[in-house]
Chain A
Amino acid sequence: ETGVTQSPTHLIKTRGQQVTLRCSSQSGHNTVSWYQQALGQGPQFIFQYYREEENGRGNFPPRFSGLQFPNYSSELNVNALELDDSALYLCASTQLGGAPTDTQYFGPGTRLTVL
């Protein structure tokens, strides 16, 4: 167990809807990264949040947005859902500014299905 939690576990939405996924980071970690994993593929980096600001972004459109809160928990919001957004969404927490190598620890993921 990494101490990183995500909610909900599973979610079903229809095309065009909006969704919010939540992540609580491991105790002592100040940074959260989000990844999308399509079936049969490796995870792809969406973005990272550090000190409540976006700190790097992958190749995802603006309808993917996020927030980080003062307690370091985070939300991933996806607007105007498309069928291709169906995936496992993973968050990973780490402590930037801590040890020389800031290892990322992953949560169990949220399985999103878009119909």
Chain B
Amino acid sequence: DAKTTQPTSMDCAEGRAANLPCNHSTISGNEYVYWYRQIHSQGPQYIIHGLKNNETNEMASLIITEDRKSSTLILPHATLRDTAVYYCIVRVLKGSSNTGKLIFGQGTTLQVKP
């Protein structure tokens, strides 16, 4: 079973920041938080990952709480093309027997509206 909990759906106005929350209260010290998104019927697209520090790349920012029990993915200026299902996943560092497996939950369907 997925170790994360996300809202089923969210709306965001075009041009505004989209803040997608994720709860992972049972996360272990050696587990990273990964975010992927999936636009309808395409393969999941990697967005960002982090361990305990906040991370930023050209696509998004990832804010992880100090206790690491939750995180927020921020799309700073959402566009219509950001409409997708967003998956938050926790996974073990390489070196574990489970490094090959991403366990997806149901994700959050983000609808960006004009």
Binding site for B on A (CB under 8 A): 2, 4, 31, 33, 35, 41-45, 47-48, 50, 55-56, 58, 88, 90, 92, 96-97, 100-109, 111
Contact = CB atoms under 8 A, between A and B. Distances in A.
A104 B43 CA distance: 11
Contacts of A50: 100
Contacts, number: 71
A32 B102 CA distance: 12
Given A42-B87, A101-B94, A31 B43 contact: no
Nearest to B98: A56
Interface of B: 2, 32, 34, 36, 41-46, 49, 87, 93-94, 97-107
B32 to A, nearest CB: 6
B32, B41, B45, B97: most-surrounded residue (chain A CB, <10 A): B41
B101 A90 contact: no
- DSSP majority for the B interface? loop
A58 B98 CA distance: 10
Given A56-B97, A106-B44, A108-B43, A42 B2 contact: yes
Contacts of B107: 42
A82 B105 CA distance: 24
